[in-house]
Amino acid sequence: MTEQHLPPSHALAPPQPAPARAYILLIEDHPMMAEAIGFRLGGWLPGLQLRKAYSWAEARALLQNTSTPPEFIVTDLQLPDSPPEQTLRSLREWQAQVPVLALTMLTDQATQELCARHQALYLCKSAAFSQLLQSLQKWLGADFWQKWRAQAPLQHNPLHDLTTRQLDTLRELANGRSNREIADRLCVSEDTVRSHMKSLFVRLAVKNRTQASKFYLQHIEGLHPPGA
């Protein structure tokens, strides 16, 4: 019988752990807002994983337990457990070199100056998603964008041009809810809902609620990341 000679144990290379997948960290306490932003980020940059935190405590735990820093961070500034100054200061202490986008409903000069002081890009949540896309492309740079985006040209989706509130209203409409129900779910008045509906009909070139719902259902898949 032929004797088999095995290499010494130190000559066997230990198994290498799979490299951690590059990711975006989204910190947003409003689930519907987190869903909408996540859809777009996933569609625009499908090469990056999206990780969500719904409070500063969740974000801190994620950063503590992950050795790889995120490629960039998108954060709300009105988190339930962290005021704006603390959020930005803490992010800078934890991830000094990671780009931070502050996406907020706060529009005062002090908030914008706070973002500038902590080297965070400021963008108001009421902006259309097309503006968010343009801001991200300019902020992150062409090399970053080309690295992580889809190889195929990015096709324009008309829903990207809607504000967050308009998209929320359209989503609720497509789910068969009345103006009163939409107002209750979005915590706005019925007059505000009617105003959003009027703007939506003009922007989407539709004549009624049925056509608006159909338009949403025809285009919503373009907002989801591949495989979602």
Q: Please give the pLDDT value at position 57.
A: 93
What whole-number distance in Å separates Cα of residue 169 and Cα of residue 159?
12
pLDDT tens-digit readout, 126-185: 887 778 888 888 888 888 887 887 544 455 678 878 888 888 899 899 888 999 999 999
Count CA within 13 A, CB hemisphere, residue 132: 25
Q: Quick check: 124 pLDDT over 60? A: yes
C-alpha distance from residue 170 to each of 59, 67, 175, 213 (Å): 30, 39, 9, 7
Tokens coding 164? 């967050």
Tokens coding 4? 């088999």
Classify residue 120 by burial, with Cβ atoms within 10 Å: 0-12, 13-18, 19+.
buried
Least confident segment among 73-77, 79-83, 94-98, 202-206: 94-98
Distance from chain centroid for Cα 89: 21
Q: What is the pTM of this model?
A: 0.62
Q: Quick check: 49 pLDDT over 50? A: yes
C-alpha distance from residue 155 to each of 35, 44, 50, 150, 220 (Å): 20, 10, 21, 10, 13
Three-state SS annotation for 25-45: EEECCCHHHHHHHHHHHHHHC
What whole-number distance in Å separates Cα of residue 197 and Cα of residue 181?
14
- Check if the beta carbon of residue 56 is closer than 8 Å to that of residue 38: no
